[in-house]
Amino acid sequence: MAGSGKVVINLATGLEDAERVTVAFLVGGAAAEQGKTVTMFLTKEAVRLALPGYGSAVACDGCPPVERLMQQYADGGGELLVCPICFSARKLDDSHLVANAKLGGATPLWEWIGEEAATVFSY
């Protein structure tokens, strides 16, 4: 696993637990800053984070705004892979995804990982 350039962050929580979202984007942003290739797999309520404006929250006193962390993550090349089943179940409009997001489930995630080892974080 040492030296792996790929990082997967599995995020199943939306703004109902903004601290968890904050930590996920802090970890993802830090990985991107270190030159890692990062994708965040959004499932359950986290799929809403792939829509513009949804990240307008501050998790706690002293925490950076989620929206700023999301922008830093995107600016660093971080991608969002959005579970299409979860997205569809919430009747959300995929024509409004943020620029670094795309719909994709388990198979595209495994294809992205490929044969190389990946470091995985789950929130």
CATH of the domain at 106: 3.40.1260.10
38 belongs to a structural domain: yes
Show the domain range for 109. Answer: 6-122
Confidence (pLDDT) at 1: 40
- Classify residue 75: in a domain, yes or no: yes
The pLDDT of residue 6 is above 70? yes
**Per the structure, how many domains does the chain have?**
1
Task: Indicate whether this model's pTM tops 0.95.
Answer: no
Q: Is residue 1 part of a domain?
A: no
What is the structure's pLDDT at 3? Answer: 54
Q: What is the pLDDT of residues 58-86, one digit of tens each?
A: 888 889 999 999 999 999 999 999 999 99
39 inside domain: yes
Backbone angles phi and psi of 98, in degrees to 5? -65, 160
Task: Report the alpha-carbon distance of residue 94 to residue 38 in Å, rounded.
Answer: 22
